[in-house]
């Protein structure tokens, strides 16, 4: 399912990970019960990620269309594991679709336009680039670093579709 996540204040790092996993995630430092009574703002794809047990209990008890997950652990690795497990999330595609910082959907940008904004070896070896319309950060295929791939391998097992 195309989940849309809403995360509360202490979950900045988990927010970035939800975006790595390919989902929209709105980091809402002031996420509170107040926001949940907004009419029409949420549907069955909506998932609240919270460290606030009282918020979790409240949402569990009202007629709310989406899901709410109480994040048990302080450690971001365990947090990521928890949501992958609870929602059965699959391994993400090897390319970023949205900016990890803003969550904005990336837009194609011509190779010429990035010539002085990416490392030379990247410019020389990569054909397709995308840019965040908000913060102007540049992404390219292969943006997943080795370290990130290693984290994904730990979370999902090695990706056997990739040649090594």
Q: Footprint of Zn ion on this chain (CB under 5 A)?
A: 99, 101-102, 132, 134-135, 137
Shortest CB 129 distance to Zn ion, Å: 14
| Cα separations in angstroms, 114 against 76, 127, 135 | 33, 11, 14
End-to-end CA gap in the chain: 30
- Residue 79 or 98: the one with the smaller Cβ distance to Zn ion is 98
- Residue 164 CB, shortest distance to Zn ion, in Å, is 31
Q: Please, what is the minimum distance in Å from the beta carbon of residue 25 to Zn ion?
A: 13
Using alpha carbons, select from 55, 39, 54 the residue that is nearest to residue 6.
55
Comparison of 1 and 135: residue with beta carbon closer to Zn ion: 135
Nearer to Zn ion, 133 or 142 (CB): 133
As a whole number of angstroms, the distance between CA 56 and CA 48 comes to 9
């Amino acid at each position: 399912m195309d989940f849309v996540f809403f995360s509360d204040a202490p979950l900045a790092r988990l927010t970035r990970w939800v975006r790595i996993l390919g989902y929209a995630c709105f980091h809402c430092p002031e996420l509170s019960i107040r926001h949940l009574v907004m009419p029409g703002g949420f549907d069955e794809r909506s998932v609240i990620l919270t460290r606030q047990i009282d918020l979790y209990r409240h949402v569990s008890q009202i007629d709310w269309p989406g899901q709410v997950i109480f994040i048990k652990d302080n450690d971001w690795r365990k947090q990521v594991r928890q949501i992958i497990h609870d929602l059965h999330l699959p391994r993400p595609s090897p390319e970023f679709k949205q900016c990890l910082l803003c969550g904005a959907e990336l837009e194609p940008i011509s190779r010429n336009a990035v010539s002085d904004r990416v490392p030379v070896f990247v410019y020389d070896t990569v054909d397709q680039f995308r840019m965040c319309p908000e913060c102007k950060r540049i992404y390219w295929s292969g943006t997943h670093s080795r370290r990130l791939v290693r984290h994904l391998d730990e979370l999902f097992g090695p990706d056997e579709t990739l040649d090594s």
